[in-house]
Structure 1
C-alpha cells in the first residue's frame, strides 16, 4: 500500500520555543492605552460595580495610579472626566480649569514621559447625556462642532499629547484640526473615533462616566452595527479631514471591521476593547467559568491579529503583568 501524502503541520508545534519562533502575532504592554476615570474631590476612589477592578479616581489618587501604570510599562492613558456640575452645553468640558484639564496638568507634571490622551466629547458634561447641543430632541451637528473645537483646544493647552474626539458629529475632525492649528497646536495629533457603532457593549461605561442619555439614544450619530461599508466611508472622511489615528469601537464583535479598516488605510488603527467586553470576561472569571488570564490574552491577541496597531483596554494593567510572567 502506497503511503498517503499529507502535510505535517504539527512539526512547528512540538516545542514551546518552536511555537514562539513561528508566532505571527504578539502583544506587549506598550501596545495598550489604559482608560482612567477622573472625578472631583480628594482621596476619592469610587469602584465601578459593573466593571470590577475599575474605579473613578480623584486627581491625587489618579497620580498614584499612574505611578503603577508607568511601572508596568504602559506608555499611554486616556482620561475621562466626571465634572462637579453639568449643563445643557457641557461647559465644563471646555473650561480651562475643568476636571480633565487639571488632571492632565497634574499627570504631565508627575510623568512627562506618559502619553496622555484626552477624550473630546460632551456627553459626560451635559445634563442630557448626549454628545452635543440639543435643539428640540435632536443633536445639532454644526452647533456642537464649535464646542468640541473649544474643548480640544482647552485640552491641548492643558498638556494633552493626543486629542481623541469620540462624538461622531459629521466634520468633527476637520473642525478640531483647524482649531488646534489656529491655536498653535499643529503638532498635536488627532486619534479619531472614526468608526464608532451604536453598541449595547457600552453599558458599563455609562455607569463609570455617568453619561447615560436622559432621553432617546445615540443612533442618529453613532453607526448601525449591521453596516460594514459605512465604516470605510467614515474612515475615509476622517483621513481627509486630518486624523492621525483611526479608532474602531467596539472591538471584539467588530474584528472584521478592524481588518477592513487596516486593509484600507495607511494610518495606525486602534481597537477599543470596550466596557461591556471587559465586564463579560470579569463576570465569567469571577464565577470560575473561564480562565481570566488566558481569555484576556487570547482576546487582545485577536484584536492585534485582526489588524489593530494599538489596543485601548481596561485589561491593560492585568495584561501587562501577565505578559511579564511569560
Structure 2
C-alpha cells in the first residue's frame, strides 16, 4: 500500500464542522420568498387540500401571518389574490380596491419593511381562467398587455415593492416598464416570469388560486417543456425590455435551464419551487416514505447550486425553522 498514490478527498468530509467549513453552497432564510393567497371575506383561513400547510387567508388573518414570517426572518412575500367576482376581462385585477391592492396597503401599514412582490396576471380574476382577453378562443396578446399594465400600476400605487408579471404575453415587460415609468413608478423593479413552462406541476396552485382555465390550456403562451434554447430567447427579450429579476418556473425539472440562464445573464435569478413539487414532497412525507426536512433542504440547496439567487417556495416557513436549529 505504501506505493499507492491517490488524492484523499475524504479529509474534508471528516466531521460536521469540517463539512460546513468547506461547503460551497449556502441556503439562507434571506433567499426565500413566501407565496400568500389572499381572499375576499372575513374570518377565512382555509387550508388548500392539495397543499397541506398552505391557506387561503382573508385580510383579518393577514397581519398575524406577516408577523409570523417576520419572526422567522423571512423578508419577502409574493401575493396572489382571489376575488369574489370574476368577469371576462379580470376587472378586479386592476381595481384600486381589489384584494391584492388592499393586502398591499395593509402589509405596508403593519409591517412596512417586508418586501411585497405582487403577482401581475389576470388568470385568478377572469371568468375563463386565462391570462388575458379572449378573442376567437385564444388570448389576444396586445389587448391583454393593456390590462396587465393597468394591473401593475394599480399594485404599485397600493405599495408593491416589486411587480412580478407572470402572464407570458409577448412584450409584457416593456409594456409594464413604460407604464410604470409614465405613472411615476420608475423606481419599482420588475421580477419577470421570463422562463415559464406549460408544466403539469401547477395543479395544486390552480386549486389554491381558483384560476384553472375553463377551456383549453395555456400552451399557446407558456413554454413547451421540451425546449431549452427558447428559454434563452425569452430571458434575453426580458432583459432588453427592462426586467430586473428573471424567474425560471418550475424549478426541479428545469435545473439545467436555471444553470444556463444564470451563466448567460447578469441579473438576479429566481427559482419557483412550484405547488406540484411541494405537494409531492408533502404527500410522501405524510406517508412516512421520506424525511421531509432533509429532502426539502437538499432540493432547495440544489436550486441554489444550480444558480438561483432567490427561491419562491411554499416551504419557506418550514425551512426558516429548520435553518435555525
Tell me the distance in 2 between the aligned counterparts of 1:312 and 1:35. 7
TM-score scaled to structure 2, two decimals? 0.99
Aligned to 1:74: 74
Consecutive unaligned residues in structure 1, runs of 5 or more: none
Tell me the distance in 2 between the aligned counterparts of 1:143 and 1:120. 15
Tell me the distance in 2 between the aligned counterparts of 1:194 and 1:136. 26
Aligned residues: 325
Aligned to 1:200: 200
Aligned to 1:286: 286
Map 1:171-250 → 2, pairs under 5 A: 171-250=171-250
Aligned to 2:24: 24
Aligned to 2:6: 6
Map 1:1-326 → 2, pairs under 5 A: 3-325=3-325
Tell me the distance in 1 between the aligned counterparts of 2:64 and 2:178. 35
Which consecutive segments of 4 or more residues in structure 1 shift more than 4 A? none
Cα distance per residue 1:213-261 (max 9 Å; x no partner) = 0000000000000000000000000000000000000000000000010
Tell me the distance in 1 between the aligned counterparts of 2:104 and 2:43. 18
Shift of 1:129: 0.2
Tell me the distance in 1 between the aligned counterparts of 2:145 and 2:134. 12
TM-score scaled to structure 1, two decimals? 0.99
Q: What is the DSSP-based 3-state SS (H/G/I as helix, E as strand, rest coil) of the residue aligned with 1:281? A: helix
Consecutive unaligned residues in structure 2, runs of 5 or more: none
Cα distance per residue 1:9-49 (max 9 Å; x no partner) = 00000011110010000111110000000001111111100
Shift of 1:4: 1.9
Q: What is the DSSP-based 3-state SS (H/G/I as helix, E as strand, rest coil) of the residue aligned with 1:239? A: helix
RMSD: 0.7
Shift of 1:2: 6.0
